[in-house]
Amino acid sequence: MTKLSLKTGIFTILLTYLYLSMAQVYAQDSMEMDLVINDITIENDLGEDIGNNLLFGIEELESKTGETLDIIKVTNDLENLKKKNDETYENVELEVLPIDSSSISIKFEMQKKRIIKRILISIESIEKDKNDIDNDLRKELKLRRGGIFKSKDMMLDISSIENFYKKKGYPLVKVKKKLELNSESEIIIDFKVLLNTAEVKIDDIKITGNNYFTDKELNKIIKSKESSFFSKNLFIEEEYLNDIEIIKRHYMESGFINIEVEADYKVKKDEADIYFKISENKQLKLNKLSIEGNSFLETQEILNILNTKLPTAFSIKKQREAIQRVRELYGNNGYIFTQITMNYDDKSESATLVINEGKPQKIIKIEIIGNTKTVPEVIYEKLNFNIGEMANTSKINESILNLYKTGFFKDVKIDFFPMTTSAGKVVIQLQENSTQTIQFSLGSAYGGAGFGVSLSDNNLFGTGTSLALSTMISKEINRVGLVYNNENIFGSEIDLNISANHDFERSYHYKEKKTALRIMFEKQINKNISLGLGTRLEFVSIDSLSQQYSDNIDLSDTKDVVSGLIGSFAYRIQDKEEKTNGVISVHLLPSFHNQELFFKGVVNAQVTRDIYENDEGGKHQISGRVTLGYASQSTPFYERLQGGGNGTIRGFEYGSINKDGQLGSNSMISANLTYSLPIYKDIFSGVLFLDAFAPGSSDFAFDDFRVVGGLGLRAHMNAGFVQETFEAGVTIPLISRQNDITKPFYFIIGDYDPAYNL
C-alpha cells in the first residue's frame, strides 16, 4: 500500500485532492466513484491509540466510519484536533491509506514536542564479528540527538537504515524500533538491525526469453555479476532493480520499444540466484528515411551525416546521435536555433526528418557578467569567437572549456540572445573561484620521495597571471622556488614562464648548490604540438666530492656560472579511441660556462596503450619509454648525463652510473617496458617492468649496459587533499657491474619525465 503523509493548512487540501485524484484514476471511474472511510484512528507519536483520551477525539470528528470521504470535513478535523486539544501536541499529521479501489483508512497522528535524548543502533547478526556501526550510516539519518522527535522522520530513518545495509549485501535486512520515554519531554530511540543473513553473494544469473541479444551480451551491460573463486560479488537489491532498466534501455535502443522484463531473486543462506525473464515483442524496422524543410544543407549531405544504412533496426539512440550531428553542423554555420524532429511511421517502417532551419545568427555584442576579480581582457583571450562572426556552437563550447581550464571560474555559462531576426549578443555568465591557495604536496625527485608546500595566486590581480612560492624537501634535493606564469603574454597566444629557485642537491658522488633563473616562452601550435624557447642563468657551487674523484677535481674551481638558451619541442600522441597516448619531447640546451661553449640535448618518447578495461574501471596497460641524451666534450661534469634512479634505471643509486671513470657521461640511452594489471577496481594495480641504461662516450659508443627487472604496486589515490599516483616495489639486477651501487627498493610519487632532469 502507498502512504501519503500531509500537514495542516493549504498544502493539506491540495495534496489530499491529489491523492483523491490518484485513487479515482486507479478506480478507472473518477467521475462516479466515491471513497468510503473504512477506519479512523487517532494515535500519538509513539504509536499509541489515544482517540478516546482527548478533549476533542474520535467521537467529536466530523468524518465518520462508513461515510464517503469529504475533503472539507477531513480538513476541519485536522484544524480542530490541533486547536481544541491542549497545547501538549504541537502538530497533527494525516495519513491516508488506500485499502482497495473504493475504500480507505485514515490515521491522525498527534505529535508532542519531545527532545531526542539518545539514538541507539545495534546489529543482531549471525556473523559473530558484526558489532560495528558505520559512521556513514548516522549521517543519513534525519533524527538527531537534541532534535525534535517526529515519527515520520523515524519511519524514514528505518527505511534509510534498511537501504544502507541492502547496499552492503544484506537483502533480507529488517529494522525494528523501540521507543523509551526518559521523561514526558525526552525520548530514547533504539533501532535494532536484523541482518537475517550473512553477506549474500550472487551465485547464478539466469536470463530467459532473449533471442536478439545473447546471455553474454546482456551479462556484460548489467551491474550485477556472478561470483567466482577470485571475486565475491554481493547481491545489491538497488543494482538488481537498475539492471531491469538497463536491459530495457538496451533493447529499446535496438528498436524493441515494447520490451518487457520480469525479474525475481531467491536467497539461499549466503547466496542469491537472479532471474530475468524477457519478452522481446516486435522490433521496429527502418526501411525508408526522408528529409523535409532543409534549404541550407542539401538532402544528400544530411543523409551522409546521418550515415544510416537501410534497411536497419530503428534505434532511438542511434537516430538521436545522428540528429545531433546534423544539429551541430547547422550550429557551426550560424543556424543555432535550428529545430529537428523525427517522425516515425510503424506501419510503413519509414521515418521523416523535419527540419526548421530558422535564420543564421551573427554576433553583434559580447557581454560578460560576474567577473568581479578577473579583468575582461583575460576572458576575451580565452574566447574562440569575436564580434562580427556568425555564431558557432562548437566555438562557444570550446570557449567554455578554455575558461574552465584557467581554474579562475567554478561555473561558466555562455548563452546567445537574439536582438534582431538574424543577430544577437553572447552573454557570458561567470562564477569565480578563489585562486589564492596554500597547497601541501607529495612528489618524487630522481630516486625518492619528497614533501612540499606552496603559496600561490593563480589569478594575480585578476590579470590571468599566476605567482607561486614553493619549497620541497627530499632525500636527493631541497628546493626553494618562485614561479611566475602568464599564459597570454602581451595579448598573444604565447605562454611566459619565469622560475627562480635555489637548490641543494645530493648526487651519489658530490653535493651541489645552485641558484637558477629560467625564462621560457612557449606556444601551442595545435592540440598536439608545442614549441618553446628560453634562456637560463645558473650559479653553481660543488662540494663534498667523493674520494674517487677528489684527486682529479679541484673543489676551489667548482664555483661556476652557467648561461645559455633552452629550446623545447613536444608532440602528444593520442588515438581517436583514446586507447593510446604518449608524448615525444626534445630539449636542447646550447650553453656557456667558464669562457667555454657546450651543448646538451635530451630526446624522450613515452607511449601507453590500454589493452583491456574491466567493469570496475581497472585497466590492463602496456607502456614503453626510450630516452636519448647527449652532452658535448666540453660539458662540465655537473652538467653531464647521469644514470641511476627513477627515469633512467631503477635499482641503482641516483647519479652512480658513469662512463670510463669520469663523473657523468657524454651520451646515454635509457629504456623501459612496463605492464600493469588491475588488482582492486581502478585504485590498485600490479606492475611488472624492465629498465635498461647505458652510459656512452661523446661519439655515442654504448658498450656498458645495465638491466633490471622489477615488480611493484601502484595506487591511484583521489581522496581529499591527496590526489596522486603512488608506486613502490622491488628490483632485481639482471645485468650489472661489480662496483655498482644498487638499491633493491624504489618509490615514485606522481608522473616523471626524465627529459627535464637529465
Q: Which CATH class is domain 288-356?
A: alpha beta
pLDDT in tens, 440-454: 665 555 555 667 777
Peptide bond between residue 744 and the one before it cis (omega within 30 degrees of 0): no
Q: Is the pLDDT of residue 9 over 80?
A: no
Query: Which comes out higher in pLDDT, residue 587 or 700?
Result: 587
Asked whether this chain's domains 115-194 and 288-356 adopt the same fold, the reply is yes
Mean pLDDT computed over 526-544:
90
> What is the DSSP-derived secondary structure letter of residue 562?
E
Among the residue ranges 101-105, 461-465, 642-646, 716-720, the one predicted with the least confidence is 716-720
Count of positions (residues) in the chain: 758
Which H or E run includes 418? Answer: strand 409-418
Q: Whole-number mean pLDDT of the chain? A: 84
Q: Is the pLDDT of residue 187 over 60?
A: yes
Grid cell locating 560: 661556476
Q: Could you give the CA distance from residue 70 to residue 499 in angstroms, rounded to a whole number?
A: 79
What CATH number labels 201-279? 3.10.20.310
Bridge partners (DSSP) of residue 627 are 604, 670
Among the residue ranges 61-75, 501-515, 590-604, the one predicted with the least confidence is 501-515
Q: Given CA atoms 191, 195, 199, 205 in this order, what sign does their dihedral have? A: negative
Q: Which CATH class is domain 362-432?
A: alpha beta
| pTM of the shown model | 0.53
Residue 534 · residue 517 · CB < 8 Å: no
> What is the DSSP-derived secondary structure letter of residue 391?
P
Q: Is the pLDDT of residue 30 over 70?
A: no
pLDDT in tens, 202-218: 999 999 999 999 999 99
Q: What pLDDT shows up at residue 526?
A: 86
Q: Could you give the CA distance from residue 702 to residue 696 in angstroms, rounded to a whole number?
A: 5
Fold for domain 115-194?
Ubiquitin-like (UB roll) (3.10.20)
Grid cell locating 12: 493539506
Q: Which CATH class is domain 437-756?
A: mainly beta
The Cα angle at residue 386 between residues 384 and 387, in degrees rounded to 5:
160
* pLDDT confidence band for 19 (50 / 70 / 90): very low
Q: What pLDDT shows up at residue 407?
A: 83
Please provide the DSSP assignment of 442-472 as one string.
EEEETTEEEEEEEEEEEEETTTTEEEEEEEE
Mean pLDDT computed over 24-47:
69
Q: Of 669, 673, 670, which is closest to residue 609 (Cα–Cα)?
A: 673
Q: Could you give the CA distance from residue 60 to residue 325 in angstroms, rounded to a whole number?
A: 68
Grid cell locating 668: 646515454
Q: What pLDDT shows up at residue 498?
A: 94
**Domain ranges (residues) in the chain:** 4-112, 115-194, 201-279, 288-356, 362-432, 437-756
pLDDT in tens, 279-303: 999 888 888 889 999 999 888 888 8
Q: What pLDDT shows up at residue 454?
A: 77
Query: Which comes out higher in pLDDT, residue 417 or 12?
Result: 417
